[in-house]
Structure 1
């Protein structure tokens, strides 16, 4: 009847979740229907690929600050001074490298997060603008590989801290017979810790990115307190810092070799941050305001990493003076304390420190690996994968790759992971140049979800050949040095270019993309485009509706639009 409500009171009530769960396993068809996401209306769309609606724009300046502050408190940051001081660098030199590398990281993060905070779309959608609607799959997979491997490695590290906690509780923990063959590169104790780490991670996989921010707030308080406790204990027990014990002037080589060594360590810090430099849009899309991600991220990373690295150096130097061994790695340090003194006091202190580091490692894995992986793989199978499901996929695969074998035996593979930053540098460089210089901040939101050949992001059959050419140029110069890390002999100049690694690939990729786009102009590269302050305002079983204000700078006109995401993508526009 015209004008009547579509709701019929005679319709049966919604069935319970338990009933739906049981029904899903009654047949293959029922199972398929249960896992299909109703919000996915094309291969480019589901609820986590669309612009974040206002209720999901929950990250404030404090949340971004807490995220980067907490992410910086990690095992790798604690021990970051070890390689630099091993070169013969002074503690001052090591700290300056950490400070300036993280200032550069913070600048890149803020720049790359700007577009996402404005359009509220994540990395897999934003990369369609630079690499094309199909070319974006390549850079997403490139990032996902790194995420899933390090998720497993971080879970292995977390398991080691859990094993230390159990050693504190049970005096006979290290005496448990180890029936696992030595060829498996793991002991019974560490295996138990790894399995418990897997179980402890599961509940966090149910939490969406918009709500997981509270985890980082908690971590930003817990681990600094634990780190400060270790500093106070070590300096009190030692009667001072004894920083001179760490520095051995005899290991310092010629000025040239030393200088390139410091450059290499600068690049290592950038490489450790490289994955998040690329995928920061997956967080910035939830920014409550355009500037929340900027103010929250600008200070947290350099400040927190500097303090954490300083704590690691102070503690290691004091403990070396007491025990005669430089325990750079925190789990080696905590095990060393127990080996020196297994008193009730030391057991209690080590237990709480280990628990804090285990929790911190869990947070780092979620922040750096699981959440970015989940947000990005949604674009690979949007009919079936959202962020929550992606997190479970990452956790299960990370568990299955037996990461202890990677850590223990695959030195070449670890070298590959260390050099992976040369492939990430050009990507973030291209994204920043494209947004700020080529398009001057103007993007067409509807074309990010369009499969039409007329879409400005379809390029050549869905691939932006300019971006891929710049990507190759970016990693080409440091590539020979990357090959040398596997044992190949190359010229010293190639080794030096590899020492510049991320920085060189970032600069070359950026300049190459700018030059190519100056010659071979992209559509919308004149700074005239449609800019959206977008939000999802409604949805039903068939569509999601986005509305916003569209600004056309060339004509200084504004009009309100509703974009209906249908079966062929985001291609229907009507005046509201």
Structure 2
């Protein structure tokens, strides 16, 4: 699944080159950015893998029963926007397929939509068809999409390598790196390179925060940890590097400036119009469409489906939430947002990383501030689980919203210490974020803004840890008084419906206890209670 998500990031390299790096600097920046992202994902997946709870429920344990509504609600709202944006990107690839099949009968469809809307009638047809492809997949739960992600990871190999081979053969390997020289130099180059790394983290920043929504389905405690730690940096760097080499070669040979795959496929079809070329373009575009589809499902559809269950748990399940975002993604008219609201999308990027559907400086500016709010959330979750509560989560208390909840009600339902650390993490890079919206800020503020995700994460990490040492929450005090060992609450005594005890825990010897998830798995669904 992680390979399928990560392999196919063709346009990430264009972002690096667009902001001023040369080809080898771009590859290094991409690898480092994905390595940092993967380490954060590694730690943020542990709680979900052990206790099998998603991001909304993990959020309750950290931010409080009512405080979590803000941190989960914002992510759910933004998922709607980016779900629509990814729909629009995938529609461009579907347009390649329609042109390959129908030719001018598709491209010459009379346009009945005003230019101010930002989309044509032909584009609307492609958008609607791609939206329709998503529809049946909204009815599946995440673990039921396992075969789909296998399929996605397989079809992306010939799509990426096939396009790369074509570009190399067509240009005889003349990549022409001379026109990709670094545009930034001097004393500020170090800050600029950090800026590039932060920009590259836009590829996985969403998955870092919502990692519990995926990792909760892991059958083992480490299933979602080492797999992505190894595959993500390799898959992203490899596919982005092939994108850099391919598009650089074509741009140099044909005198174009094409960086995303749908424009490249369109240019190839225009230059070599024939039946065999159109068939090859159709197959390639189909594979890339599957890639966008999978990314949209994992990064937006599943997270919204999971997050929305927290808002109305009596009525919304994960599949119902996924169907809801499917409708809302169309309703927000993403083509209108992208055509006329660049400042609005930049603001949204301050809360969540924009997908790499955009090019050059605009993408980098968005990624620069994307982690401003989400990085602080991840830092608090990691500190609380690994350093403060020693991996102990009291599951039953995560479903009690009243003041009788001794563990997670905190102060009127809010973890005040977490809120303070969250605000501190935002404060330093916030002026730089304002600068991206057009405000006049100092060079120092811009440099701090360039640090983005990393600065917010480190600041919040330190502040929350120190704050909890001198002013622990009630839950942290209880954990300390109970003298619990590492993840001791993940071991339980389970009693079957007939009263039979399955898996006695031995007091003082948590290492001899049987993991709760293993006991449940052996008994079957609905046959036991704590």
Which interval holds the TM-score relative to the shorter structure? 0.7 to 0.9
Separation in 1 of the partners of 2:288 and 2:529? 54
| Alignment partner of 1:521 is 2:472 | yes
Deviation at 1:369, TM superposition (A): 0.4
User: How far apart are 1:397 and its partner, in Å?
Assistant: 0.3
TM-superposed CA distance for 1:551, in Å, is 8.0
Structure 1 residue 219 corresponds to structure 2 residue 152: yes
Instruction: Show the counterpart of 2:41.
Output: 109
SS of the residue corresponding to residue 474 of structure 2 reads coil
Gaps of 5+ in 2: 350-365, 517-527
| Per-residue deviation, 1:535 | 11
Pick aligned residue for 1:120 from 52, 69, 86 = 52
Following TM superposition, by how much is the alpha carbon of 1:356 offset from its aligned partner in structure 2, in angstroms? Answer: 1.0
Give the secondary structure class of the aligned counterpart of 1:453: coil
| Structure 1, 99-108 or 405-414: larger mean CA deviation | 405-414
- 1:411 and 2:342 are equivalent in the alignment: yes
Mapped partners of 1:337, 1:558: distance in 2: 61
Q: Is 1:181 aligned with 2:114?
A: yes
The within-5 A match list for 1:141-220 is 141-172=73-104, 173-220=106-153
- Hey, what does 2:5 align to over in structure 1? 71
Q: Pick one of 313, 318, 335 that aligns with 1:382.
A: 313
| Residue 448 (structure 1) aligned with residue 398 (structure 2) | yes
Secondary structure (helix, strand or coil) at the match of 1:298 reads: helix
Contact 1:531 1:550 in 2 (8 A): no
2:199 to 268, 289, 301: 268
| Deviations 1:66-109 (CA, angstroms, capped at 9, x unpaired) | x22111234xx211122322344221111111111111111111
SS in 2 for 1:212: helix
Tell me the residue number matched to 1:356. 287
Counterpart CA distance in 1 for 2:155 and 2:172 is 26
Alignment of 1:268-417 (within 5 A): 268-416=199-347, 417=349
Number of positions where the alignment pairs a residue of Structure 1 with one of Structure 2: 489
Deviation at residue 556 of structure 1 after TM alignment = 9.4
Classify 1:133/1:535 alpha carbon distance in 2 versus 1 (closer, same or farther; 3 Å).
farther
Distance 1:120 1:216 in 2: 20
CA contact (8 A) 1:473 1:512 kept: yes
Of 134, 139, 153, the residue aligned with 2:71 is: 139
Write the distance in 1 (CA, Å) between the matches of 2:248 and 2:414.
Answer: 53
Contact 1:123 1:282 survives alignment (8 Å): yes
Partner SS, residue 163 of structure 1: helix
Distance 1:80 1:413, change over 3 A: same
Matches of 2:77 and 2:249, distance apart in 1: 39
Q: Which stretches of structure 1, 4 residues or longer, exceed 4 Å deviation after superposition?
A: 533-539, 546-561
Rounded to whole Å, the distance in 2 between the matches of 1:187 and 1:537 is 62
SS at match of 2:144: coil
Counterpart in the other structure of 2:425: 474
| TM-score normalised by L of structure 1 | 0.80
Q: Secondary structure at the match of 1:385?
A: coil
How far apart in 2 are the matches of 1:154 and 1:146?
12
What is the Cα deviation at residue 549 of structure 1?
6.9
2 CA distance for matches of 1:329 and 1:432? 35
- Aligned partner of residue 393 in structure 2, secondary structure: coil
Deviation string 1:528-562 (CA, Å, 9 cap, x unpaired) is 346124799989xxxxxx9987787699997999x
Specify which of 213, 232, 239 is matched with residue 165 of structure 2.
232
Residues 241 and 370 of structure 1: CA distance in aligned 2, closer, same or farther (over 3 Å): farther
Specify which of 451, 469, 488 is matched with residue 439 of structure 2.
488
Query: Of 408, 414, 418, which aligns to 1:463?
Result: 414
Q: 5 Å matches for 1:557-568? A: none
> Which structure has greater helix proportion?
2
